[in-house]
Amino acid sequence: MARQTSVDTYANKATAGMRSSNGNYFIDTKVNGSVKKDTVTVTAANLATTATVNGTGYTYDSKTVTVTAANLATTATVNGTGYTVNVGAATLSKAEIAALLIIAINAGETLAVASLGGTETVIVKSVVGTITVVGTTNCSVAQTSQSTTVIATGLVVILNAQESSITATSDAAIITIVSDTVGTTYTLAATTNCTTAVVNANAAAIAFGLFVSSDANDEDMAMLPSVAADITSRRALGISEYTQTREQSDEGWKINADINYVRRGTVWAVAEEAILISDTVYIRHTANGTGKTVIGSVRTDDDSSTAAALAGCSVLQYDSTTGLVELDVNLPA
């Protein structure tokens, strides 16, 4: 007879995350990292891109000043100030005039830096905010042709120079922003030409008996799943184990504690609904309304794509008194 309702006295003593019977176990450990992490994805190339962090907008903007005449006074206006190279009777090429223009701009501008691009172009890009560049005497101005990757790299430099509570890194056009201090939070908004998404925001203890996966950006960090791939890919770790031999809190594994998880063996896990031994094990990765908010808990279907099937895992019994399910876990080593 299938065991899917209340079970015997033994089961009613079960605790979430408790190993339940004798057998072979594979238990591993990763850290419950608590730093907040978000991503900024640059969505448009060749355009000024702004990401707002802690209420301040940080803009990467780049313009090209092309010198159009040699041996003549050349003026480029940056942020309302005209920078002029007047060569007089000297014989200078357009490239030489451009080099002198760079020196003048860098000496006078705190919000922009200039560098040489090509043979006669000056690239002016923002450091902390937006810039205005106007072509005036013997020069023209255009938006610098930059890829989303170059723009992302520029934004990273700006953020790291100005924000003391975060560290920003770039992977292609995706910027990962991480809080520098344990427990420190920040606000991040997508503004011009960028979108944002949470990567991992473990900010509390990870409860016993919940499924955990490894962080896509740091394989030594355990986290509650946030997307289906955290459950269906090799990032799947196992069920957080209950133990009294390691650092923990009453609620589970403390922030930044090294947590144990059962990758192979039998263990009691948190279930959000009754489950039969014939059911496929699904793990919740996204909240979906009342009674469906415990990330990492077990259920019987994908609940409109807010849960994903966990391969190598089967149901042994369900205890309706505790709301726990005994699982036989056999994930790849």
* pLDDT tens digits along 126-181: 867 778 999 999 999 998 778 899 899 989 988 998 888 899 988 889 998 988 77
Between CA 186 and CA 179 the distance in angstroms is: 7
**Distances from the Cα of 56 to the Cα of 59, 168, 189, 190, 234, angstroms:** 10, 15, 10, 12, 38
Edge-to-edge, what's the strand order for the sheet holding 298-299? Answer: 298-299, 282-284, 307-309
Which of 271, 273, 319 shows the shortest CA–CA distance to 3?
319
CA 298 to chain centre: 25
What is the rounded average pLDDT for all residues in the chain? 87
The percent of residues in the chain predicted with pLDDT above 70, rounded, is 90
Count of CA atoms in the C-beta half-sphere (13 A) of 214: 14
Give the 3-state secondary structure of residue 99: helix
Task: Give pLDDT, residue 1.
Answer: 33
pLDDT at 326 over 90: yes
| Residue 166: exposure state from Cβ atoms within 10 A (0-12, 13-18, ≥19) | buried
Closest among 110, 136, 108, 112 to 61, alpha carbons compared? 112
> Measured between alpha carbons, how far is 89 from 210 in angstroms, rounded to an integer?
78
d(CA 57, CA 172): 21
- The number of helix segments (H) and strand segments (E) in the chain equals 4, 26
The position carrying tokens 């903007």 is 61
pTM of the model: 0.59
* Interval 170-192: pLDDT, tens: 888 999 898 877 667 789 999 99
- Integer Cα distance of 6 and 73 in angstroms: 90
Is 193 in a helix, a strand, or coil?
coil
Angstrom distances, CA of residue 331 to CA of 28, 39, 132: 12, 29, 57
Q: Which of 268, 255, 266, 261 is nearest to 322 (CA)?
A: 268
Given a contact cutoff of 8 angstroms between Cβ atoms, the answer to whether 186 and 36 are in contact is yes
Q: Token pair of 33, please?
A: 């990292």
pLDDT at 201 over 70: no
Determine the distance from the C-alpha atom of residue 15 to the mean position of all C-alpha atoms in its chain, rounded to a whole number: 33
Give the domain ranges of the chain.
9-34+202-330, 36-201
H helix runs in 179-290, sequence order: 229-232
Token readout for 262 is 């059962």
The pLDDT tens digits of the residues spanning 58-86 come to 988 889 999 999 998 999 999 999 999 97
Are 86 and 92 a contacting pair, CB within 8 Å? Answer: no
CB 253 within 8 A of CB 261: no
Q: What is the DSSP string of 277-295?
A: TTSPPEEE-S--STT---T
Helix, strand or coil, per DSSP, at residue 150: helix
